[in-house]
Structure 1
Amino acid sequence: MNSQAKAIEELISRQPENKVLTANQVYSQLPKSFSEQAFYQTLTRLTQRGELCHLTKGLYYRPRRSRFGVVPLGEQTIIDHYTENGQGMVIGYRLYHQHGLTTQISKNVEMLSNVLQENKKTVGNAKVSRLDLNFDDAICNAIATLEILQNYRNIEDINRQQMAEYMKKFALNYSEEAILTVLSHRKYKKSTIAFLATFLGFWNTKHTLQQYLSRLSAYAIPQMEEFYAST
């Protein structure tokens, strides 16, 4: 084994077990004189020996072993890789369920993340889309609300009372800066923006969302009585 291959193997051996490894990030830790071809040849060799597992293009992990064999990589480990430390968030049914809007939950996971180099990636049952934002609390709340409103009519077994409570809390703690930031990076339907504007108006929350809407258009959105019939 040549010195480069040995150094690469030693670097891989120091990586935590059962943690997602991005190949190009690991490669960047090596001296610039190291061959990229040699690096990936070493990864292939380690995978063939069972010292490394290949998840999907560019992603690997060092398997943890017990007396029963290899410990499978957990779903949460993949979620953490894309979402921890302000790198992303879960959307879709996992998000709706998290906020108590439905009892339904999907076996698949949908995420937005700034970690991706490509636009989309599938890792097992996880589907990730790239979004170049810092996912702080305000941004995550803004995205969550827009995702919920955009998909409102398609959410199975939706709890409208819980939805009403969620939107009241959002309106009373509204961050215009966060919403405008999200709208500048991710496209949402005009009807979704109109839906949000209607909720904000119901709670007398000031906003400037009219800039995205046309006064001549009638947007097909639910009436507030659907959520606040007794208010």
Structure 2
Amino acid sequence: MESQAQTIAQWIEKQPEDKILTANQIYAQMPKDISEATFYQALTRMVKRKKLCHLTKGLYYRPRRSRFGLIPLGETTIVQHYTDNKQGMVIGYRLYQQLGITTQISKNVEILSNAVQDNKKTIQNVKVNRLELRFTEPIRYAIATLELLQNYSKIEDINRRSMAKYMKRFAENYSEEAVKTVLKKRRYKKSTIAFLAMFLTFWKVKHTLHEYLSALSVYAIPRMEEFYESA
């Protein structure tokens, strides 16, 4: 039993500091004779000895230390864990601020990621929702635009001039394949799709988004003059 605990500890101690470790992925790499109960008991002992930190259910990390004690895991490390290597992207106010649409910044970070095992996970101030997509640049661009349009009416201090410029760039680089791929995996309101279609039509971009809409419906979306009369 003690030798098995040492095997587990040695494996973990070889991992870089501040790297987020997923318990069931670690266990899959352990020798077959180590039981799951023994494995988790070893992790618990390492946490008590401060050799390991428990981040949230199923997640751990080997902490850095200073002369003042253990250094908590930073937000940036958590975000990178779920977004690097095309695994995800930041949405919400952090995204809108990055796009120059608003100066407002949320204390919380919202992420869509294929790297989270549960449908939802909250780690400190980071909220992660699972989305089974490979986050290539066209996919990220499509999601960013759909998120922006979906939440347009809720965004505080929105800069419509900046949004108009952003939507023009999006229309110029429009990928219907990317948008349709996203729409298969993540639900957006029909009014959001109609909003996007309005921008594309305004910039004379060919699209088939009417396939998602009803010709008999009138969707509650802003008028185009709201963006381009002052642009």
Q: TM-score, normalised by structure 2?
A: 0.98
| 1:225 partner letter | E
Please identify, of 22-31 and 47-56, the stretch whose mean Cα deviation from structure 2 is larger.
22-31
The answer for the alignment partner of 1:32 in structure 2 is: 32
| 1:68 partner letter | F
Aligned length: 231
Please identify, of 59-68 and 214-223, the stretch whose mean Cα deviation from structure 2 is larger.
59-68
The answer for the alignment partner of 2:165 in structure 1 is: 165
Give distance in 1, aligned partners of 2:157 and 2:115.
33
Secondary structure of the structure 1 residue equivalent to 2:104? coil
Deviation, structure 1 residue 155: 0.1
Please identify, of 62-71 and 94-103, the stretch whose mean Cα deviation from structure 2 is larger.
62-71
Q: Unpaired runs of 5+ in structure 2?
A: none
Secondary structure of the structure 2 residue equivalent to 1:193? helix
Alpha-carbon displacement from aligned partner over 1:160-193 (angstroms, at most 9, x marks no partner)? 0000000000001000000000000000000000
Alpha-carbon displacement from aligned partner over 1:61-105 (angstroms, at most 9, x marks no partner)? 111011222122110000001100000000000000000000100
1:58 aligns with 2:73: no
Secondary structure of the structure 2 residue equivalent to 1:220? coil
The answer for the alignment partner of 1:88 in structure 2 is: 88
The answer for the alignment partner of 1:177 in structure 2 is: 177
The answer for the alignment partner of 2:201 in structure 1 is: 201
1:1-231 aligned at under 5 Å gives the runs 2-229=2-229
Alpha-carbon displacement from aligned partner over 1:120-140 (angstroms, at most 9, x marks no partner)? 010000110000000010000
Secondary structure of the structure 1 residue equivalent to 2:228? coil
Alpha-carbon displacement from aligned partner over 1:17-51 (angstroms, at most 9, x marks no partner)? 01211111111211233211111100000000111
Q: Unpaired runs of 5+ in structure 1?
A: none
Q: Is the 8 A contact 2:87 2:135 kept in 1?
A: yes
